[in-house]
Structure 1
Amino acid sequence: MKKVVFFMMITILLSACGEYNKILKSTDYEVKYTYAKKYFNEKKFSKAATLLEELVTILKGTKDAEESLYLLAQSYYGMKDYQTASQYFNTYYTTYPKGEYAELARFYSGYGLYLDSPDPRLDQAQTYKAIQELQLYMEYYPQSERATEAQNILFELQEKLAYKELLATRLYYNLGNFMGNNYSSCVITAQNALKTYPYSKYREEFMFFIIRSKYEMAVASVEEKLQGRYRDVVDEYYNYINEYPEGKYLKQVQKYFDYANGRITDVY
């Protein structure tokens, strides 16, 4: 019985393969397109994409041109090849800016890149591209039912970029004075992040690293810069407590303040 089932499965498989190979070689493009849509609906995206790659050129100027290009983009999306999908979605909405699938193409162009966005420790070119595509979507379709989802994704991607800056901030602080003044780089990185991502959930930690690094620079300062650096620590302390009067780093920044403030001797 098992042998009978096995041979039936082999027969069905060979028949299916034979069908697909026959369609690949066919010059009847209407039949080919019918099968491309059939494979797409069956979620056989690789087969659909192979057929559609040929058909989108042949079908240009016909009633099926628009749909075939969109289906090609969706086929790559279904294969989780989000970069290629985004390129085809981009081609679609550029070619058919008022097309039937223009809104979906703009959304999925950015959404696919969002799904493909790498770990914060890696290059974020894909993340920036996803943000760009989703921002364009929001500009074109601010009242869309997907607008809220797109906005939430934008916040998430921006937080990922903020976190990447936080990783750099932490690294500079941990390097300290190794091969240069990394505390200064820590401050600059954190300050730039606060300007770029002012509403980030990492805001408090950025502010903490600024005062922490300025404290370290003051402790190791040469005499002629000492008083100015003490005042910097005091200024950053007030910046911090004004925003976070009950912040999670309050005890530490209080120590930095007490140390610096008690050593300021020049009065203006």
Structure 2
Amino acid sequence: MSFNLSKHIFLPLVLVLALFATSCNSYQKIVKSDNWEYKYNKAIEFYNKGAYYKAIPVIEDLLVYYKGTEKAEELYFYYANCHFQQNSFTISAYHFKNYVSQYPYSDRAAESLYLYAMSHYNMSPERSLDQENTYKAIEAFQVFINTYPDSEKVAEANDKIASLRDKLEKKALENADLYYRTSNFRAAANEYLNILVNYPDIENAEEIAWKALKARFMFADNSTFRRQVERFEETLKVYKDFVYKYPDSKFRKEADGMFEESNFRIIRSSYNHAVLSLLKDREKMFRATINLYEKHFPKITDQRNAEEAKRLLEGAYFMIVKTNYQLAQNSAKQARSKWYSKTINSYFNFIDKYSSSKFANEAEKIYEASTENLNKIKNG
């Protein structure tokens, strides 16, 4: 007796296809049926069996038919949850949010709000990607906790928030470290400081605060003379906060060094900025240097920096003399008398303080020329 293999394979395949065709025809009859109670019962049957892909088209028809009825409320929840169970979280987020808005007093409102949060939670991507859904999930879980504080889901919601915030903490820190490594010190400093504000309980807060100080210092150090004064002032503010919070920090010695250097650099940067400023602004700028010296010099302990700061102060007083003389030389005739008088006054102010200055001879020549020119003007 011969065995026909093809016959034994062909017959079961025909039966399977026939069953599939019958099933498809049966489902299409449900979808196209005008018997709404029948369609409703089949939709609930599909839903309860977990056949969400079958339930969705049927429920869509039912929502139109039962619009404005109690069944619509029930069906809309099932519809949103079908998408959630199918991992269509963008769609489920939209419909759960809409459900809570339309039916805020429904028995399913709390569950819908929680599943709205879970939709965004499930769409929260790895740290390297955009975290919009992470923020939305945190916000939604927090709204859930505030709205339903007695819910058994509150503890779980808090755990979800903690895990999401941990992700954001790590991402923010990675971003800040990347900014620093690529010498984008301004962005690095801002990011480190924002981390400390947004995540006050973060691990290694002391090290992050130290990194913020270091980045702020490097930002100032790499700035132009015109910007360095204000940016080293900002560094001092960050230093003050750092030592207040961590007076015994392992980074304290390095932090103190930056404090010392920042005070000195404020004086030096101000002087250099004044040298490069327009002639009409120069006297004002050198007087600003003198004022900054009075404020910051007492905080300088390094001898080399202290000596350099003194030389800059001496230079600032001399440059005021020189600037006033240049302004007199460049002024219209009617204004020269004022500037020569200012030159003479600034000379006496300088020579009283620095009679042995290396600039004394040049200052005296300026004084003599100013006196002679002023006398000529007075004598006509």
The one of 108, 116, 123 aligned to 1:116: 123
Name whichever of 37-46 and 145-154 sits farther off. 37-46
Deviation at 1:261, TM superposition (A): 5.9
Contact 2:192–2:208 (CA<8 Å) still a contact in 1? yes
**206, 209, 212: which one pairs with 2:211?**
209
Letter paired with 1:174? R
Q: How big is the shift at 1:146?
A: 0.3
TM superposition shift of 1:8 = 2.9
Q: Structure 1: 5+ residue runs without aligned partners?
A: 177-181
Give the Cα–Cα distance (whole angstroms) in 2 for the partners of residues 240 and 220 of structure 1.
27
Contact 1:169/1:190 (<8 A) preserved: yes
Task: Provide the rounded CA distance (Å) in 2 between the counterparts of 1:122 and 1:93.
Answer: 29
Larger RCO (CA under 8 A, 6+ residues apart): 1
Q: 1:47 aligns with which of 54, 68, 80?
A: 54
Summarize the Cα distance change of 1:30–1:117 in structure 2 as closer, same or farther, 3 Å threshold.
same
**Distance in 2 of aligned mates of 1:190 and 1:45:** 46
Specify whether residues 137 and 229 from structure 1 end up closer, same or farther in structure 2 by C-alpha distance, changes over 3 A only. closer
Residue 187 of structure 1, CA deviation? 0.9
After superposing the two structures, state which structure 1 stretch, 120-129 or 96-105, moved more. Answer: 120-129
Count of aligned positions = 256
| Separation in 2, partners of 1:9, 1:184 | 68
Which stretch has the larger CA shift, 77-86 or 195-204? Answer: 195-204
Output the CA distance in 1 between the equivalents of 2:52 and 2:113.
20
User: Distance between the aligned counterparts of 1:215 and 1:162, measured in 2?
Assistant: 23
Higher helix share: 2
From the CA coordinates, give the structure whose radius of gyration is larger: 2
Give the superposition deviation at 1:254: 5.0
Shift of 1:120: 2.8
Provide the rounded CA distance (Å) in 2 between the counterparts of 1:218 and 1:210.
12
Give the share of equivalent positions with the same residue, in percent: 25
Does 2:27 correspond to 1:12?
no
* CA distance in 2: counterparts of 1:35 and 1:202, whole angstroms: 57
> Structure 2: how far apart are the matches of 1:141 and 1:15?
48
CA deviation vs aligned residue, 1:179-203 (integer Å, no higher than 9, x gap): xxx2122111221222122223463
- The answer to whether the aligner puts 1:37 opposite 2:44 as a matched pair is yes
Pair 1:65 & 2:76 matched: no
Counterparts in 2 of 1:208 and 1:14: CA distance versus 1, 3 Å: farther
| Corresponding residue number in structure 1 for 2:254 | 256
218, 237, 246: which is aligned to 1:241? 246
Q: CA deviation at 1:215?
A: 4.4
- Confirm whether residue 104 of structure 1 aligns to residue 106 of structure 2: no
What root-mean-square deviation, in Å, do the aligned CA atoms of Structure 1 and Structure 2 show?
Answer: 2.9
Offset at residue 104 of structure 1 (A): 0.7
For residues 216 and 202 of structure 1, the distance between their equivalents in structure 2, rounded to whole angstroms, comes to: 21
1:76 maps to what in 2? 83
Residues 56-80 of structure 1 show CA distances to partners (whole Å, capped at 9, x for unaligned) of: 1211233422210110011000111
Alpha-carbon distance in 1 for matches of 2:160, 2:220: 41
Deviations 1:37-65 (A, max 9, x none): 22222222122111112211211233422
Q: Structure 2 counterpart of 1:197, which letter?
A: Y
Structure 2 CA distance, aligned partners of 1:230 and 1:58?
67
CA–CA distance in structure 2, aligned partners of residues 28 and 70 of structure 1: 22
**In 1, Cα distance between equivalents of 2:224 and 2:255:** 19
d(CA) in 1 for partners of 2:77 and 2:241?
53
Query: Which string of whole-angstrom CA distances, capped at 9 and with x for unpartnered residues, describes residues 79-121 of structure 1?
Result: 1111211221122222222212111111101111111112333
Q: Partners of 2:45 and 2:243 in 1: how far apart?
A: 66
Counterpart for residue 183 of structure 1: 185
Contact 1:217 1:229 (C-alpha < 8 Å) held by counterparts = no
Task: Determine the C-alpha separation between the residues in 2 that align with 1:133 and 1:215.
Answer: 39
Report the alpha carbon displacement of residue 140 of structure 1 after superposing the two structures with TM.
Answer: 1.4
- Distance of 1:157 and 1:202 partners within structure 2: 18
**Code of the aligned partner of 1:192:** N
Q: For residues 203 and 10 of structure 1, do their structure 2 counterparts lie closer, same or farther at Cα, with a shift above 3 Å needed?
A: farther
Looking at structure 1, the residues matched to 212 and 66 of structure 2 have their Cα atoms a distance apart, in angstroms, of: 59
SS at structure 1 position matched to 2:61: helix
Given that 2:121 and 2:134 are in contact with CA atoms closer than 8 Å, whether structure 1 keeps it comes out as yes
SS at match of 2:298: coil
- What is the letter of the counterpart of residue 167 of structure 2? K
Distance change (3 Å), C-alpha of 1:202 and 1:37: farther
Provide TM-score, normalisation by structure 2.
0.59
What letter is aligned with 1:190? Answer: Y
How much has 1:239 moved relative to structure 2?
5.0
Query: Secondary structure of 2:151's match?
Result: coil
Residue type at the aligned position of 1:257: A
Whether the 8 Å contact between 1:114 and 1:127 is mirrored in structure 2 is yes
